[in-house]
């Protein structure tokens, strides 16, 4: 299996980066990823206000997928996520949803315990729920890995975990895929600005759909289909986009009318928050596959 070391990483999703690896559609790659703070924090005494913010949220890549052309869809199937045996959660001054009332700095380093969990003091035990924060392709204009958009990016969506397929629109030849910012666990919203940030080894199969053209990221888990939208204008704007995308998807794939699709999302689907702390907030709309009997 092909491997890509974390020395091959970038801080932007951009068509300007030369490919670190070339693969054929359907091939599987093991990506070594930095933690989102580039290994700058090792103990509770390392202040979150000392972090060099020009070296955060690295994405390992880019991977050039042979034959990928604008208008195609790249399918990244998450086969495995192996986080490091430690990670850190932070309150970085100037970040976080409550930055005005709980500004930090605050650092908490977590170690993996023999029982496979992490402890937060004596009273709190955290099961690991590894997920990918940042995953995307090169957009037409370069964008920081800290933000998100139609190309994916810093989506911080808890459903991007093992078993999930991430569908990404291709904007440039080769797609130029990158991935990073793994969390040992994170809650919807990522309110303080981080999950338990950790490096990882992530195994991803990259395939190409030339019969499918999408505008924004979609997810398919074993049990649900999801649309994802990002907006710098806030949650309502993002929800509107994700909802419209889902209604369109249900019309095209399931033959529903707009009204039927709208009602189905209302009675069986969920609107979920990805994160509300990055430059663009992310939301997703999920519909369970089990409702479709034919």
| Residues at the site binding Ca ion, with contacts judged by CB under 5 A | 36, 133, 154, 156, 181, 197
Shortest reach from residue 122's CB to Ca ion, in Å: 26
Shortest reach from residue 196's CB to Ca ion, in Å: 9
Complex with Ca ion: residue 183 or 218, whichever CB lies closer: 183
Cα dihedral 178, 191, 262, 215 in deg (nearest 10): -20
Shortest reach from residue 198's CB to Ca ion, in Å: 9
Shortest reach from residue 84's CB to Ca ion, in Å: 14
Cα dihedral 213, 225, 185, 201 in deg (nearest 10): -50
Complex with Ca ion: residue 120 or 292, whichever CB lies closer: 120
For residues 18 and 10, is the Cβ–Cβ distance under 8 A? no
For residues 182 and 203, is the Cβ–Cβ distance under 8 A? no
Assigned token pair, 256: 């529903």
Complex with Ca ion: residue 170 or 277, whichever CB lies closer: 277
Assigned token pair, 206: 């990259």
Complex with Ca ion: residue 38 or 181, whichever CB lies closer: 181
Complex with Ca ion: residue 61 or 133, whichever CB lies closer: 133
CA 188 to chain CA centroid, Å, is 12
Strands 270-275, 281-288: parallel, antiparallel or unpaired by DSSP? antiparallel
Return the SS3 of 288. strand
Shortest reach from residue 47's CB to Ca ion, in Å: 18
DSSP 92: -
CA 106 to chain CA centroid, Å, is 24
């Amino acid at each position: 299996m092909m491997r890509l070391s974390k020395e091959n990483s970038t801080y932007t999703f951009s068509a300007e980066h030369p490919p670190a690896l070339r693969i054929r559609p359907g091939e599987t790659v093991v990506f070594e990823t930095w933690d989102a703070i580039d290994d700058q924090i090792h103990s509770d005494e390392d202040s979150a206000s000392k972090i060099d913010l020009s070296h955060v949220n690295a994405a390992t890549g880019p991977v050039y997928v042979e034959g990928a052309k604008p208008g195609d869809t790249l399918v990244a199937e998450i086969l495995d996520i192996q986080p490091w045996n430690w990670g850190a959660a932070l309150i970085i001054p100037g970040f976080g949803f409550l930055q005005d009332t709980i500004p930090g700095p605050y650092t908490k380093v977590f170690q993996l315990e023999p029982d496979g969990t992490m402890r937060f003091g004596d009273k709190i035990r955290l099961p690991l729920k590894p997920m990918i924060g940042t995953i995307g392709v090169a957009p037409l204009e370069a964008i920081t890995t800290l933000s998100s958009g139609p190309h994916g990016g810093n989506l911080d969506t808890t459903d991007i975990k093992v078993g999930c397929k991430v569908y990404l629109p291709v904007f440039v030849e080769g797609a130029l895929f990158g991935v990073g910012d793994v969390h040992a666990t994170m809650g919807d919203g990522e309110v303080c600005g981080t999950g338990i940030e950790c490096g990882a080894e992530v195994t991803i199969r990259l395939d190409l759909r030339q019969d499918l053209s999408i505008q924004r990221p979609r997810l398919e888990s074993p049990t649900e289909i999801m649309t994802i939208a990002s907006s710098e204008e806030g949650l309502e704007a993002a929800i509107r986009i994700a909802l419209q995308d889902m209604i369109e998807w249900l019309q095209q794939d399931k033959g529903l009318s707009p009204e039927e699709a709208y009602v189905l999302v209302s009675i069986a689907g969920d609107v979920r928050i990805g994160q509300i702390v990055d430059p663009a907030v992310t939301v997703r709309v999920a519909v369970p596959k089990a409702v479709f009997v034919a």
